Amino acid sequence: MHWLTLERNDADALMKQLYRQLRHAVLEGRLEPEERLPSSRELARLLGVSRNVVLEVYEQLAAEGYVAPRRGSGTFVAPGARYGLPRNDAPSSGSSSEAGAEADLVDFRTGVPLLREIPWKTVARSFRRVCDRTPSNAWGYGAPEGTPALRESLARFLARSRDISCSPGDLVITNGAAEALCITALLLARQGKTLVVTEDPVHLHFQQTLRLAGTELYPLSVDEAGLRTDELPRNVRPGAVFLTPSHQFPLGGTLSVQRRIDLAAYAAATECLLIEDDYESEFRFEGLPVSSLRELVPSATVYIGSFSKILSPALRLGYAIVPSHLGEDFRRIKYDVSNHTSSMEQRIVADLLDEGVVERHIARMKRFYREGRKRLVRNLADAFPGRHEIRSAGAGAGLHLVVRFPGLVFDAERCSRIEARGVRIHPVEGHAIRKGHYGEWVILGYGNLSFDAMDEGVARLRAALDAEMA
Amino acid sequence: MHWLTLERNDADALMKQLYRQLRHAVLEGRLEPEERLPSSRELARLLGVSRNVVLEVYEQLAAEGYVAPRRGSGTFVAPGARYGLPRNDAPSSGSSSEAGAEADLVDFRTGVPLLREIPWKTVARSFRRVCDRTPSNAWGYGAPEGTPALRESLARFLARSRDISCSPGDLVITNGAAEALCITALLLARQGKTLVVTEDPVHLHFQQTLRLAGTELYPLSVDEAGLRTDELPRNVRPGAVFLTPSHQFPLGGTLSVQRRIDLAAYAAATECLLIEDDYESEFRFEGLPVSSLRELVPSATVYIGSFSKILSPALRLGYAIVPSHLGEDFRRIKYDVSNHTSSMEQRIVADLLDEGVVERHIARMKRFYREGRKRLVRNLADAFPGRHEIRSAGAGAGLHLVVRFPGLVFDAERCSRIEARGVRIHPVEGHAIRKGHYGEWVILGYGNLSFDAMDEGVARLRAALDAEMA
């Protein structure tokens, strides 16, 4: 047993070392089946350790089947315990997403709020309050639909800010909007419904999540008034129509009331579900919030919202308003997918809603985004006079602009060359299901850019596009 | 327009009221298509509001298609905007899971840790530290696999506490163990693999989550040494074998090394995946941690763990160690299901791991659970001398006992009658796929019971079972 080498530490560590080495010796075949192990007294003397250490290790090895004690004759290596143990010490490449290499890049990324303004100190204070007043038994497993406290606060918030009337019992709290969509897709799949009508273009992430359960997408075009309802299929019956009616992503249109009514009639005639992702509806800079599609057809609409833009994507808190006849299935699938959403986050956000923090933050951020948007529009006008077109420019909403540069197609190579000049833009084609219609259009997100970064980004973009056109 | 009634508040509220009422009037048909609206000046005078309020509302209604301005002749109700608006004011029944009616019930629920001992004040302090030192740009969208900080801390923790060697790049952070299993099931389904071998009995929640993607389960029996590998199917090729080798749920056995080797050979021969849920492996009261199944076959094992028992179910933080050839697909599905797990929770738990809080808490809780288990065993011996049998009594591990009461079958009616006496027990049959084998067995969870509650629970159970046998 000369190969046993123990490092002197405390008793527990010795035991661990001995256990590990004997185990490996059995697995590797160094200790052969039926081989007799030294008696515990003998091995303890040999290693200079207490006999109890050896006894405990032998017991453990016996319990797991590596060795077998035989009354009166000692401990033997058990048969069938030899195994070529594979090595697992080659480090696999951990992908680090916090690389510093991108430090100087101006990324016109969409959907990211102004991160430096997230009121974390307020959130931390809220957490302390929550810890103080939550009874310990509330920190176990919760209901799949979420804590009553958050659902009640959220229902009031939606009534105040979105003119949405729903009861707390209609709400299911999810891990971001993505999970709400995932659950809906799984629910449809369970009903055998595998065809979903969507806007085209529409956020690539939504496409992927809908496809998770094997769903096929049926793309309809989008114009300034949103989804082209005249293209709704009459020959096939989809399980659902997915859309972003308040502020179409990425093109920015608002679904007109005529089309809303078309959709409601369509849903009634085909008995399909409407899935309304209320994307960035909170950041409308002019006028009042657009009404929800759900209001027209509450019994057939799954409404999806999230706190990612209005608080922080770091929270991963979303929700769905679910028609009552689907409520039980929806909650059951939520339970199967992830049990329930973090009670810690739910209680914090309920507190932030009750204290008015969320609404004050939205109001404050709107001013930033309104200014940012104006500045970006002006910068583009200065940099590309007569050489660009802004889509849905009138509808001041959201955290991005969609811009066309006639004569330039933004394929992967072009985008790489532009990025090499220190600015990243996002082609609309990346979100198109049917390719080839939006080649000249790009998305410029301004939510998380300081004014300086934005100015610099447009200057770099101008230099890059001048080079492209040269 | 006498039906317009505005309540005097601030300008924004007036605008909102006017918008809502006009919109409803159009939808309900009170304002008919092609009907001319009063001029903005006229309506403003009529209502005694500023003309700007009316102008803004008209503009908003026009943007959404309710009305159409005609140059020089005024604003008209648009055609196609009439719609029988459904009422949505009947409150649906919100299910409250925090009811106080159960206050006096002693629930021998499994899998819930001792909630009153969760160190929330320490967690809140950790959150403050995290807020202070996290740069604001790290609070945006993160990588689907989780923050590098947590994956590094977790890899070190697993090496220290579980003798598991994995690199941070192999880890994917999930919303609890359930989501890790859900992603694995979706991944298998995407590969067209719809048959999964499982232990029987095995936690009902695991069964449901595996079935999410349409998977069929192939049940194998379980004995004191875990999954009966001699029952592994030879005529069909499963996509995966799911098991809880460290501490089988619910029966409590530890998979013997011979069976581990059988499984490894089976996985190699059939090219199936092994899914190892390391259920409650942290709470072993005697000897060292059982080694992981993954150690033998890292290239074919998805290892699933969670912080629900060792910190709190309220956090919903789990993880998977994924073989490198499946890493990309796994991360992609994680992204589609829920983007990524809360960065807030990830950063807090990374901090708690780095500060040694998690390990100290586990060590502390082990003492509670060891004592609780002893006391429950003793209580049962006193209450049911010669009338009960404890399963896997030797293996001191986990947060529950499995107990047989010969001659009593715990069907739903009997459990209800027992519950009427103030004590809730959980039949093993609830977790059985093939029914009829464990009728006399119940699960008694002691993790979240004070000693007093436990004593009272056993006394009530004795009274209840005496009544059942009378």
Which pair of structure tokens corresponds to residue A448? 């998380």
Residue A353 maps to a domain = yes
- For residue B178, the chain A residues in CB contact (below 8 A) are 336-339
CB contact under 8 A, B63 and A205: no
CA–CA gap between residue B142 and residue B254 (Å, rounded): 37
Sign of CA dihedral A378, A380, A385, A386: negative
To test the contact with chain A by mutation, choose from B57, B128, B129, B139 the residue with the greatest count of A C-beta atoms within 10 A, namely B139
CB contact under 8 A, B182 and A15: no
A47 alpha carbon, distance to own chain's centre: 53
CA–CA gap between residue B314 and residue A346 (Å, rounded): 10
Q: What is the pLDDT of residue B284?
A: 82
Out of A314, A334, A359, a domain closes at A359
Out of B304, B337, B359, a domain closes at B359
Domain match, B348 and B424 both: no
Which residue in the block uniquely carries the two structure tokens 């994307």? A279
To test the contact with chain B by mutation, choose from A337, A349, A399 the residue with the greatest count of B C-beta atoms within 10 A, namely A337
Q: What is the pLDDT of residue B414?
A: 96
Looking at the partner chain, which of B64, B92, B167 has a beta carbon nearest the beta carbon of A324? B92
Q: Which residues make Cβ contacts (< 8 Å) with residue A297, sequence separation at least 6?
A: A263, A264, A267, A268, A274, B86
- For residue B337, the chain A residues in CB contact (below 8 A) are 178-179, 182, 209, 212, 337
CB contact under 8 A, A169 and B313: no
Peptide bond into B289 cis (omega under 30): no
Looking at the partner chain, which of B264, B313, B338 has a beta carbon nearest the beta carbon of A178? B338
CB contact under 8 A, A327 and B92: yes
Q: Which domain holds residue B324?
A: 117-359
A99, pLDDT greater than 60 = no
Number of domains in chain B: 3
Are B176 and A339 a contacting pair, CB within 8 Å?
yes
CB contact under 8 A, B94 and A148: yes
To test the contact with chain B by mutation, choose from A58, A109, A112, A139 the residue with the greatest count of B C-beta atoms within 10 A, namely A139
Report how far apart, in Å, the C-alpha atoms of A360 and of each of A357, A366, B442 are.
5, 10, 52
Out of B307, B330, B359, a domain closes at B359
- For residue B131, the chain A residues in CB contact (below 8 A) are 120-121, 123-124
Compute the nearest-CA separation of A361 from chain B (Å): 16
Q: What is the pLDDT of residue B27?
A: 83
CB contact under 8 A, B314 and A169: no
In a 3-state reduction of DSSP, which class is residue A386? coil
In what order do the strands lie in the sheet containing B240-243?
B171-174, B318-321, B301-306, B273-277, B240-243, B195-199, B216-220
Q: What is the pLDDT of residue A9?
A: 62
Compute the nearest-CA separation of A379 from chain B (Å): 24
Residue A9 maps to a domain = no
Domain match, A337 and A374 both: no
Q: Can you tell me the ipTM of this complex?
A: 0.86
Q: What is the pLDDT of residue B3?
A: 73
In a 3-state reduction of DSSP, which class is residue B408? coil
Domain match, A220 and A259 both: yes
To test the contact with chain B by mutation, choose from A10, A97, A153 the residue with the greatest count of B C-beta atoms within 10 A, namely A97
In a 3-state reduction of DSSP, which class is residue B457? helix
Backbone angles phi, psi at A223, to 5 degrees: -130, -165
CA–CA gap between residue B108 and residue B324 (Å, rounded): 40
Domain match, A71 and A121 both: no
A403, pLDDT greater than 60 = yes
For residue B207, the domain's CATH number is 3.40.640.10
Residue B347 maps to a domain = yes
pLDDT tens-digit readout, A41-94: 989 888 888 898 899 889 888 877 888 888 888 999 988 877 765 433 333 333
Are B190 and B329 a contacting pair, CB within 8 Å?
yes
Task: Supply the mean pLDDT for chain B.
Answer: 90
Pairing of strands B195-199, B216-220: parallel
Which chain B residue has the Cα nearest residue A117? B136
- For residue B169, the chain A residues in CB contact (below 8 A) are 91-95
Which segments of A232-355 are extended strands (E)?
240-243, 273-277, 301-306, 318-321
Q: What is the pLDDT of residue A87?
A: 38
Residue B455 maps to a domain = yes
DSSP annotation string for B316-356: --EEEE--HHHHHHHHHHHHHHHSS--HHHHHHHHHHHHTT
Which residue in the block uniquely carries the two structure tokens 């919202």? A305
Domain match, A196 and A329 both: yes
A222 alpha carbon, distance to own chain's centre: 25
Which residue in the block uniquely carries the two structure tokens 């099931």? B185
Q: Which residues make Cβ contacts (< 8 Å) with residue A9, sequence separation at least 6?
A: none
Domain match, B66 and B111 both: no
Compute the nearest-CA separation of B26 from chain A (Å): 10
Domain match, B352 and B393 both: no
Which pair of structure tokens corresponds to residue B104? 């006096």
The residue with greater pLDDT, B21 or B147, is B147
To test the contact with chain B by mutation, choose from A102, A205, A312, A339 the residue with the greatest count of B C-beta atoms within 10 A, namely A339
CA–CA gap between residue A133 and residue B120 (Å, rounded): 11
pLDDT tens-digit readout, A254-281: 898 899 999 999 999 999 999 999 988 8
CA–CA gap between residue B136 and residue A114 (Å, rounded): 9
Which residue in the block uniquely carries the two structure tokens 């090895």? A61
H-only helix segments in A191-281: 204-211, 257-270
DSSP annotation string for B31-66: SPTTPBPPPHHHHHHHHT--HHHHHHHHHHHHHTTS
Looking at the partner chain, which of B16, B142, B186 has a beta carbon nearest the beta carbon of A212? B186
Q: What is the pLDDT of residue A20?
A: 84
Domain match, A338 and A385 both: no
CB contact under 8 A, B140 and A59: no
Looking at the partner chain, which of A141, A214, A291 has a beta carbon nearest the beta carbon of B313? A141
- For residue B26, the chain A residues in CB contact (below 8 A) are 257
Which chain A residue has the Cα nearest residue B93? A169
| Identity of residue A353 | L
Q: What percent of chain B has pLDDT over 90?
A: 70
Compute the nearest-CA separation of A83 from chain B (Å): 7
Task: Supply the mean pLDDT for chain A.
Answer: 90
To test the contact with chain B by mutation, choose from A24, A342, A392 the residue with the greatest count of B C-beta atoms within 10 A, namely A342
CA–CA gap between residue B104 and residue B424 (Å, rounded): 11
| Identity of residue B277 | D
Residue A85 maps to a domain = no
Compute the nearest-CA separation of B280 from chain A (Å): 16
CA–CA gap between residue B253 and residue B209 (Å, rounded): 22
Looking at the partner chain, which of B189, B287, B344 has a beta carbon nearest the beta carbon of A63? B287
In degrees to the nearest 10, what's the CA dihedral of A328, A333, A336, A338? -110
Mean pLDDT over residues B98-108, rounded? 68
Looking at the partner chain, which of A23, A287, A342 has a beta carbon nearest the beta carbon of B60? A287
| Identity of residue B272 | C
Domain match, B142 and B241 both: yes
pLDDT tens-digit readout, A420-464: 999 999 999 999 999 999 999 999 999 999 999 999 999 999 999
- For residue B111, the chain A residues in CB contact (below 8 A) are 141
- Residue B150: which H helix or E strand, with range? helix B148-162
For residue A42, the domain's CATH number is 1.10.10.10
Compute the nearest-CA separation of B219 from chain A (Å): 19
Pairing of strands A273-277, A301-306: parallel
Residue A94 maps to a domain = no
pLDDT tens-digit readout, B212-221: 989 999 999 9
pLDDT tens-digit readout, B181-190: 999 999 999 9
CB contact under 8 A, A257 and B26: yes
Specify the long-range contacts of residues B11-20, CB closer than 8 Å, at least 24 apart. B11/B50, B11/B53, B14/B49, B14/B53, B15/A288, B15/B53, B15/B56, B15/B57, B16/A163, B16/A288, B18/B47, B18/B49, B18/B53, B18/B54, B18/B57, B19/A288, B19/B57, B19/B60, B19/B61, B20/A163
Instruction: Please provide the distance, in angstroms rounded to a whole number, between the alpha carbons at the two ends of chain B.
Output: 77
Q: Which of A61-75, B125-139, B222-236 has the lowest mean pLDDT?
A: A61-75
CA–CA gap between residue B155 and residue B146 (Å, rounded): 13
Residue A84 maps to a domain = no
The residue with greater pLDDT, A219 or B52, is A219
In a 3-state reduction of DSSP, which class is residue B241? strand
Residue A287 maps to a domain = yes
pLDDT tens-digit readout, B249-288: 999 888 988 999 999 999 999 999 999 999 888 888 776 7
Q: Which residues make Cβ contacts (< 8 Å) with residue B420, sequence separation at least 6?
A: none
Are B55 and B63 a contacting pair, CB within 8 Å?
no
In a 3-state reduction of DSSP, which class is residue B217? strand
Backbone angles phi, psi at A174, to 5 degrees: -130, 170
Domain match, B52 and B110 both: no
Which chain B residue has the Cα nearest residue A332? B208
Which chain A residue has the Cα nearest residue B296? A85
Which pair of structure tokens corresponds to residue A13? 């560590």
Pairing of strands A222-223, A226-227: antiparallel
Domain match, A314 and A174 both: yes
Domain match, B33 and B130 both: no
CB contact under 8 A, A169 and B316: no
Backbone angles phi, psi at A186, to 5 degrees: -65, -35
Pairing of strands A400-404, B106-107: unpaired
B97, pLDDT greater than 60 = no
- DSSP symbol at A131: H
Q: Which residues make Cβ contacts (< 8 Å) with residue B53, sequence separation at least 6?
A: B11, B14, B15, B18, B44
pLDDT tens-digit readout, B47-93: 888 898 899 889 888 877 888 888 888 999 988 877 765 433 333 33
Compute the nearest-CA separation of A25 from chain B (Å): 13
Are A299 and B86 a contacting pair, CB within 8 Å?
yes
- For residue A23, the chain B residues in CB contact (below 8 A) are 291
- For residue A59, the chain B residues in CB contact (below 8 A) are 287
For residue A403, the domain's CATH number is 3.90.1150.10
Mean pLDDT over residues B224-243, rounded? 96
Going by C-alpha positions, the residue among B127, B34, B143 that lies closest to residue B78 is B34
Compute the nearest-CA separation of A440 from chain B (Å): 26
